[in-house]
Structure 1
Amino acid sequence: MPPIPDRSGPARLAYGATAVLIGATASLGSAFVGVNLPFIQGRLGLTPVEGAWLTAAYAMTNVSGNLLFLRFRQQFGIRLFAALGLVLYATMTLLNTLWDDYTAALVIRALCGFATVPLSTLTIFYMLQAAGQKHSMGGLIVGLSIAQAATPFAYVVSPALTFSEEPHVLYLFESGLALCSLAAVALLQLPESPKARILARGDLLTYLLVCPALALVVAVLTQGRLQWWPDHPWLAVALCAALVLMATAFVYEEVRPAPLIYHELLFAGSTMRFALGAFGLRFVLSEQTYGASGLLGLLGAGPDQLQGYYAIILMSLAAGVGVAALVFTPPRAAVLAIVALAFMATGAFLDADATGSVRPQQFLGSQAMLGFANGLFFGPILIFGVLGALKGGFEKLVTFIVLFIVSQTLGGLAGSALLGTIQQHREQVYSAQINASIDPTDAIVAQRLQSQARQFAPVLTDPALQRAQGTRQLGQASTLQANVLAYNDVFRLTGALALLLLAWLSIQTLLTMIKSKEQGGTPAPAGGGAS
C-alpha cells in the first residue's frame, strides 16, 4: 500500500474527489448495462438469454482478477498498475461507441470486467490519501463502499441518458468517465509504494485454472433460471468442469513453494465462518436487487417513476457508510453486522404484504432499511477479515481478498438465481390455485367476465371475440396476482434467512466473548464469531 503523508485540506479534497471519480468509473459501466438491459436488448434485438450474457461476461472476468493483479501491483508499482488499468478501460469504452453489435458488446464487457479490477484498488488508495493517517479506517470503509452506490445511482441518471433512445449516449458517458479518471490520475499521482519481486511463472497457470472455473459458475448462476435448470444439461457439465478445474488448481498450489492460494487460511474454521457470513449477507440483500425491483417492474413502474425511489436508497446507503466509517472498530464488526441483519429482516417482512396496486412510494421505508444495512456492513466486514488474514502474513492477503470477492459476487448471483427460481415456481403454484377457483358458472365470476367483455365493445362487434378477450384479460389479472403472491413468498424467505443469520451470528459472537473472558483478554479481530 502506498504511504499516507500529511496533506493540506485542498490536497485531501482533490484526492477524495479523484477517488469518487475512479470509483464511479469502475462500477457505473456494469451498473448501466444491468439497469438498462431491457433497453439494450430491444436496441440490439436480443432475447433475455442473450441479454443475460452481457452481465455474465463482465462478472466472469471480474470475479477472479484480483488473483493476478495484487501480485502484479506489488512487483511493478502502483503507477504502472493504475496506468494500464485506466488505459485498457478507456480503450474498451471508446470501442463500444464505434463497434455496436452483440458480439462486440460481449467482448467489450468481458474485457471491461478485467480492466476495472485495478480501478477498485485505486479508489481505495486515493480515498486513504484523502482521509489521512488519522482517519484511515474511515477512509478505507468509504473507499470500499463507493462501488455499492453504482446501481442506485445508475437508476437515478439513466432516464436522462437514454432519453434520445441511442445506446451511444450511455457508452459516451462511460468513456468520458474513463478519460477524466485517466487525466485525474496523471495529474494527481499516488506516492510510489515499495516493490518486491514476487511474481512467479506458476501464478499464470493458477490463474488460467481458477479464472475459467469461476467463470463457469457465474455462467450457470446467470443462465440457470432463464434457461431453466433441468432443461439444459450443459449447466451440470459446466459445474462439473468448474469443480475439476478448481480441484486441479488446489492440488497444483499445494506443491508450489510460494502459492497464490493458501489452503491453511482458506479452509480454516474462522475463514469459512467469515465467508459464510459474507455470502449470506450478500444473498439476503438480493431481496433489494431482485425482489423489490422485480416486483415494481412487473407492476409497470418505469425508469422515470423509480428515480425518487432509488434516490432514497442511495441516500440511505450513504448514511450507512457514514455511520460505519464513524463508529467502526474491529471489536464492533459483529455488532454492525447484527444491526445490518436486523434492518434486512425488518425491511423484508415489511415488503411481504404487497398487493397488485403497490407503488414505489410504499417500498421507500423498507428499501431504505436495506440500503442502510448494505452501507453498514460491507466495508467493516471486509476490513475485519483483512485484519484477521494479515495475522498469517501479508503474502496470504491475496487468498483472502479473492475469497471475499468471490463470496460477494457469487452471493449476489446465487441470490438472484435462487430467489428467481423460487418466485417462478411459486407463481406456477398460485396460478394453478387461482385458475382452479375460477368457475364460469359462479355469478360473481360471470359478472366479472361480462364486465371485462363490455370493455372491448367499442372496438370489437363480435360478442364471441368480446368474451374471448374478456376471458384473456381475466387470465392476465390472475397471473399478475399469482406473481405478486410469489414475490411475497420471496420477501418472507429472505426475512427468515436474515433472522437465521442474525441468530447464528449472535450465538457465535456470544461464544467468542465468553471464550475471551475465560482467557482474560479482549476479543481478537480474527475471531470467527464476528464473521
Structure 2
Amino acid sequence: MPDKYAPRDWQPHEKPTLPGSASTPLHPTRRRIQYGLVGLVVALTGGLSNALVTANLPYLQGSLGAYATEMAWLPAAYVMTNMSANLLLVKFRQQFGLRRFTEIFLALYAAIALAHLFVHSLSSAITVRAAHGLVGAALSSLGLYYVIQAFPNKYRLKAVVLGLGVTQLALPLARVFSTDLLEFGQWQGLYLFEFGLAIFALACVLALKLPPSDRYRVFEPLDFVTFSLFAAGAAGLAAVLSLGRLLWWSSTPWLGVVLAISIVLLCAAAWIEHNRRNPMINTRWLASADMLRLGLAILLIRLVLSEQSTGAIGFFQTLGLANDQLQTLFALMLLGAVAGVAASAWLINPARIAEHLIIAVAAICVGCFMDADATSLTRPEQMYVSQFLLAFGSTFFIGPAMVAGLGRVIAQPGNLISFIVLFGMAQNMGGLLGSALLGSVQILREKYHSSQLVEHLVLTDPQVAARVQA
C-alpha cells in the first residue's frame, strides 16, 4: 500500500505553493471559468454567514426577544471562534488533504445553517453562531483556493487578491438584499437562504473538486494545548471588546476579570510556542520588525474603517432610518467595495505594496473627513461619495496586505500558520477595537451633551416650573 504522505512527483508548474494548498495543473478555459464561479459561490457563502446577522442585528432582536446588550453576543460569538480556528484548520488541510477538508467543513456548514432554522432562544442562537465562526474560517480559505485555480500561474497574485476580496463583499451585499429576505420570512428567511446557499456550495465543490495536494504528518499533542489556551484567550478578548461599550467598562466587574484571564491565557500560549522545538506559532518570526509593521498597519486600517460600520450606519440607525431607506447608500458601498477589489487585483505589484496601502488609507481618510461635519440633519444622500471612498479603501488594502506577508511565507513555509494567525488577529482585533473605541467616544460625548442640556432644567426656574405644571 503506497504511503499517503509520500511526496508526489509534480511538474514545475503543478507544485503546490504552500503546504496544504492545492496543486495547480493546467486547465482548459472552460474548467477555469467553472473554478472561478465555484470560488465566488464558496467565498460569498462563507462571508455571508456572519454578514447576514451583522447587517440585521436590530431586526433579529425582536424575533429573539432580547436586549441590545444580549444581541451583541451573536457577532461576538462568531468572532470568538473564527479568530482562532485557523490554528487547527491549516494543519488539518496539511495532514488530511484539501479534498477531505472541503467536503467535511462544507457539510458541517450546511448542517449548522440548518440548525439555525430551529433556533428559538438567544442561548441556542449564540451556540450556533459560535459553531458558524469555526466553519466560516474554513470556507474563506477554500474559496481562495478555487479562485486561484481559475487563473494561469502568471496571474497568481491577482487571483489571491480577488479570492480575498470576494469575501469582503459579503457585508455590503447582505445589506443590499437581506431586507427582502426579512420581509419574506422574518429571521427564518435569512437562515433559509443561508442554508440553501450552503447546500448549493456543497453541490458545487462535490461536482468540481480541487486538484490533489501533498499531505504531511504535522499534528503534535502540544498543538492542542496551545490551541486551547489561544482560543480561550482570544475568545475572552473578543467578548470584552464586543460588550465593553454596551455594558460599560467600569460598571461591569466581570469584564475586567475576563480581560485579565484572557491576557494570562494568551501569554501562556505564547510562552509554550516560544520554547517549542517545532512551534505552531513562530513568536520570533512574528516579533520581527517587518511582521510587526505589517500587523500594526492592518490593525490600524481596520480600526479606522469602523467609521463606516459603527459610525455611518449606526448614525443613521440612531436617527431612526431603517435598512430600506438606506438601499441606495448600501448599493454605492457595494459598488465601492467591488471597485476596490478590481483595482487592487489589476494594480497589484509586490514591489509597490506600500503605495497600495497608502492609497487605501488616503481614500479612507478623505471619506472620514467628508463625514466629519455630519449633524442630525444629515441624510444618506450627503454621504454617497464619502461612503463609496471608505468601501473602496476597505477592499483595496486587503489584497496587498496579504501579498506582503505571503512573500515571506513562501520563503519560509513553516511560518504559514504564524502569518495566518497574525493576519486574522490583526483584522478581527482592529475591527473590534475600532467599534469599541468609536462607540465609547460616542457614549461619552452623548452623556456630556445630555448633561449640558439638562443642567439648567431645574424647578426653581419659573419657565421650567410653568412648563411642568402645563
TM-score, length basis structure 2? 0.92
**Does residue 154 of structure 2 align to residue 130 of structure 1?**
no
Match of 1:286 in 2: 306
SS at match of 1:3: coil
Alignment of 1:108-507 (within 5 A): 108-164=128-184, 166-391=186-411, 393-436=412-455, 467=467
One-letter identity of the residue aligned with 1:29: S
2:88 to 52, 68, 74: 68
Deviation of 1:438 after TM superposition, in Å, equals: 7.4
Deviation of 1:220 after TM superposition, in Å, equals: 0.1
**Does residue 101 of structure 2 align to residue 81 of structure 1?**
yes
Distance in 1, matches of 2:372 and 2:457, equals 25
Match of 1:460 in 2: none
SS at match of 1:407: helix
One-letter identity of the residue aligned with 1:7: H
1:14-37 CA deviation, whole Å, 9 max, x = no partner? Answer: 111111111111011211111111
Q: Does the 8 A contact of 1:15 with 1:129 survive in 2?
A: yes
- The 4+ residue runs of structure 1 with deviation greater than 6 A are 437-443
Residues 427, 205 of structure 1: alpha-carbon distance in 2 compared, 3 angstrom cutoff: same
Q: Does the 8 A contact of 1:301 with 1:359 survive in 2?
A: no
One-letter identity of the residue aligned with 1:432: S
One-letter identity of the residue aligned with 2:398: F
TM-score, length basis structure 1? 0.82
Match of 1:528 in 2: none
Residues 189, 254 of structure 1: alpha-carbon distance in 2 compared, 3 angstrom cutoff: same
Residues 183, 418 of structure 1: alpha-carbon distance in 2 compared, 3 angstrom cutoff: same
Deviation of 1:354 after TM superposition, in Å, equals: 1.1
Match of 1:47 in 2: 67
Q: CA RMSD in A?
A: 2.0
Distance in 1, matches of 2:59 and 2:253, equals 30
In structure 1, stretches of 5+ residues that fail to align are: 450-463, 471-531
Distance in 2, matches of 1:22 and 1:250, equals 33
Deviation of 1:101 after TM superposition, in Å, equals: 2.1
Deviation of 1:213 after TM superposition, in Å, equals: 0.4
Residues 436, 231 of structure 1: alpha-carbon distance in 2 compared, 3 angstrom cutoff: closer
Distance in 2, matches of 1:159 and 1:99, equals 20
Deviation of 1:103 after TM superposition, in Å, equals: 2.1
One-letter identity of the residue aligned with 1:287: E
Q: Quick one: percent identity of the two aligned structures?
A: 39
Deviation of 1:442 after TM superposition, in Å, equals: 11
SS at match of 1:98: coil
1:14 to 15, 34, 37: 34
Q: Does the 8 A contact of 1:92 with 1:111 survive in 2?
A: yes
Distance in 1, matches of 2:372 and 2:119, equals 44
Distance in 1, matches of 2:356 and 2:98, equals 32
One-letter identity of the residue aligned with 1:367: Q
Q: Does the 8 A contact of 1:5 with 1:132 survive in 2?
A: no
Distance in 2, matches of 1:14 and 1:340, equals 31
Residues 437, 148 of structure 1: alpha-carbon distance in 2 compared, 3 angstrom cutoff: farther
Distance in 2, matches of 1:361 and 1:313, equals 12
Distance in 2, matches of 1:469 and 1:270, equals 68
Q: Does the 8 A contact of 1:301 with 1:360 survive in 2?
A: no
SS at match of 1:230: coil
Distance in 2, matches of 1:33 and 1:331, equals 38
Deviation of 1:439 after TM superposition, in Å, equals: 9.7
Distance in 1, matches of 2:299 and 2:40, equals 26
Distance in 1, matches of 2:357 and 2:299, equals 13
Deviation of 1:2 after TM superposition, in Å, equals: 1.1
SS at match of 2:66: coil
Residues 469, 239 of structure 1: alpha-carbon distance in 2 compared, 3 angstrom cutoff: farther
SS at match of 1:383: helix
SS at match of 1:240: helix
SS at match of 1:131: coil
One-letter identity of the residue aligned with 1:299: L
One-letter identity of the residue aligned with 2:399: G
Deviation of 1:5 after TM superposition, in Å, equals: 2.3
Deviation of 1:158 after TM superposition, in Å, equals: 1.2
Match of 2:51 in 1: 31
Distance in 2, matches of 1:250 and 1:298, equals 41
1:229-252 CA deviation, whole Å, 9 max, x = no partner? Answer: 001111111111111111211222
Q: Does the 8 A contact of 1:71 with 1:199 survive in 2?
A: yes
One-letter identity of the residue aligned with 2:448: V
Distance in 2, matches of 1:164 and 1:468, equals 46
SS at match of 2:183: coil
Deviation of 1:10 after TM superposition, in Å, equals: 2.1
Residues 195, 416 of structure 1: alpha-carbon distance in 2 compared, 3 angstrom cutoff: same
Distance in 2, matches of 1:422 and 1:364, equals 24
Q: How many residues align?
A: 450
One-letter identity of the residue aligned with 2:271: V
Q: Does the 8 A contact of 2:360 with 2:394 survive in 1?
A: yes
Residues 16, 432 of structure 1: alpha-carbon distance in 2 compared, 3 angstrom cutoff: same
Q: Does the 8 A contact of 2:274 with 2:284 survive in 1?
A: no
Q: Does the 8 A contact of 2:49 with 2:136 survive in 1?
A: no
Deviation of 1:75 after TM superposition, in Å, equals: 1.0
One-letter identity of the residue aligned with 1:90: A
SS at match of 1:387: helix
One-letter identity of the residue aligned with 2:80: M
Match of 1:453 in 2: none
Distance in 2, matches of 1:216 and 1:232, equals 15
Q: Does the 8 A contact of 1:139 with 1:325 survive in 2?
A: yes
Deviation of 1:256 after TM superposition, in Å, equals: 2.2
Distance in 1, matches of 2:420 and 2:115, equals 31
